[in-house]
Amino acid sequence: MRIALDQRSEVGTRAGRILLAERTLELLGLVDQNPSDEDDRLVRVLDLSAYDVLVTDAEDPSDVLAAAAEAGIPAVTWVDRPAAGVQAAVDAAVLVGANLGSAIAPSLAAHEAAGAGEGSPIDIVWTEPGRPLRRGHPSRFPDPVGPLWAAERARSGVVRRFAAPTQGEWAGAVVHVAATEHPRERIVAVADHAAHLEALALAAGALVAVDPAFEELRGVITVDDVAETFLDVVLGLGLEVAEWRSD
């Protein structure tokens, strides 16, 4: 596979290093940058159409998405749906929101929900940078994140989404499924270095986008559309999941 990386921050740098560890990677092209590492697979992008997918960690990826659309290749963005809109190639898709809150957390939730029974209430909580709250929805993340208060962000049927502001370099996501079948509840979570988790999500998005099944998709999609594939990929990249067991 050939992946073009538009790297603007630490997330993109880390995602690039994760992708370089993949044996199936033929080429990692850097957009508008010269590679500094001595890896034969690391090159500067000269022609985007020579790549299978474009990955970007830009907060405003509109310009690079336009270039990917022009080149006719799919794209993956770290940010959620960009404010400036998304331009996708006619016969390719753009996966938006390849990050902790919009990709890793919902993919965990989708997997747990599938085995929990119809209509089981699901709470999805993720951390985000900010001052910790003093009240709200109580959430318990694995160490080193620990317990945090979270604020509700969205609600869709039985699924509630929360964000827990926290300071420091650690981040996490928790999925609580109150199953209607046995076992009565299941809580799974991830916690790690914030930039690493974001990079894992972005790198996993890139690998999902080069999957043959992705070629059938068109337009703007989210991880909700490819949740199981995404979870398989991100687990393969080394994401470790914890499970809560009550005493």
Judged by the rule CB under 8 A, the positions of this chain that interact with other proteins are 111-112, 114-115, 132, 134-135, 138-140, 142-143, 146-149, 186, 188-189, 235, 240-247
Minimum CB–partner distance for residue 221 and other proteins (Å) = 21
- Shorter beta-carbon distance to other proteins: residue 21 or 114: 114
- Shorter beta-carbon distance to other proteins: residue 57 or 112: 112
| Positive or negative torsion for Cα 37, 39, 41, 45 | positive
Minimum CB–partner distance for residue 127 and other proteins (Å) = 14
| Positive or negative torsion for Cα 151, 97, 93, 200 | negative
- Shorter beta-carbon distance to other proteins: residue 45 or 227: 227
d(CA 244, CA 247): 10
- Shorter beta-carbon distance to other proteins: residue 75 or 148: 148
- Shorter beta-carbon distance to other proteins: residue 127 or 139: 139
Judge contact between 3 and 56, C-beta under 8 A: no
- Shorter beta-carbon distance to other proteins: residue 193 or 218: 193
Minimum CB–partner distance for residue 177 and other proteins (Å) = 10
Minimum CB–partner distance for residue 85 and other proteins (Å) = 35
- Shorter beta-carbon distance to other proteins: residue 23 or 134: 134
d(CA 201, CA 189): 15
**Residues 6+ positions from 6 with CB-CB distance below 8 Å:** 12, 31, 32, 54, 55, 56, 57, 58, 61, 64
Number of Cβ within a 10 Å radius of residue 224: 14
Distance in Å from the first CA to the final CA of the chain:
46
Minimum CB–partner distance for residue 173 and other proteins (Å) = 13
Minimum CB–partner distance for residue 243 and other proteins (Å) = 4
Minimum CB–partner distance for residue 92 and other proteins (Å) = 29
d(CA 105, CA 195): 15
Judge contact between 173 and 201, C-beta under 8 A: no
Token readout for 177 is 């499924």
